[in-house]
A and B are shown apart, each in its own frame.
Chain A
């Protein structure tokens, strides 16, 4: 019975993850359709820590800003369009402008260990993981 219960819990968790993913994609597509810039993100976790990779092609390093505050990672930046009065746009599928993405970090992310690297239009942010804090035992004292 216990096994069945845990299986069901896992099922629900996986289902939830899939739904979250579906909603995220829908939001992303909506933003892209509106011509807004919303850099897509992959995030994975390993024993060393968390890695987040954003697609930011054509975004200048100087315009990028990465910040961790109150357990939330914020990435902002700007991708200016290259056209001016002398040019004529024949086709536009790329999105331009400013962007801002905020990602709540997991509890065991270590905000003092963050590095960010931009290469070939990919922004890679590495965040260390705090050592597993075991449950703290609080002694009951008699008054």
Chain B
């Protein structure tokens, strides 16, 4: 019995090490994420969209310094609301995305959040 247990424990140790080395750490272990972002050029200007499901407007910061646009915040996925977790695939944590806008005399910016998508429009003035 003890022999078997040792084998199992050793196996467990090796597997856990393997999983951690492979970057397959559960999302809870690395609490940062990179929300996907699109940039589309349309005749009126640029449209930037970022996927931020479940987030409220006041949890998202959109800033413009010079021509550098920065979107930051923290997405709390509230893992299991104190209940037993069966699956955990959604990512959350602090994020920060920056991108340089084309330099021009000042762009007009607007930001709107709808259905978990942040849409920033940059109109050429």
**Residues of A with Cβ closer than 8 Å to B?**
1, 4-5, 8, 11-12, 15, 18-19, 21-22, 24-26, 28, 40-46, 50-51, 53, 55-60, 82-83, 86-95, 106, 120-122
Contacts and interface: CB of A to CB of B under 8 A. Distances in A.
A92 B80 contact: no
A83 B52 contact: no
A55 B53 contact: yes
Given A121-B115, A121-B117, 15 more contacts: A4-B1, A8-B8, A22-B22, A40-B89, A41-B89, A42-B80, A46-B81, A46-B83, A57-B52, A57-B115, A57-B117, A58-B117, A82-B47, A89-B38, A91-B39
B41 A90 contact: yes
B116 A26 contact: no
Interface residues of B, number: 48
B24 A95 contact: no
Contacts of A12: 8, 12
A120 B53 contact: yes
Identify the interface centre among A28, A44, A46: most chain B CB within 10 Å of its CB.
A44
Given A57-B116, A90-B39, A44 B15 contact: no
Given A43-B86, A44-B85, A93-B37, A25 B49 contact: no
A122 B116 contact: yes
A1 B5 CA distance: 11
B84 to A, nearest CB: 5
Contacts of A90: 39-41, 46
Contacts of B52: 57, 121
15 contacts: A4-B1, A15-B12, A21-B24, A21-B87, A42-B88, A43-B86, A55-B54, A57-B117, A58-B117, A60-B115, A83-B40, A90-B46, A120-B116, A121-B115, A122-B53
Contact of B9 (A11, A58, A122): A11
B42 interface: yes
Contacts of B49: 58, 82, 94
A8 B99 CA distance: 51
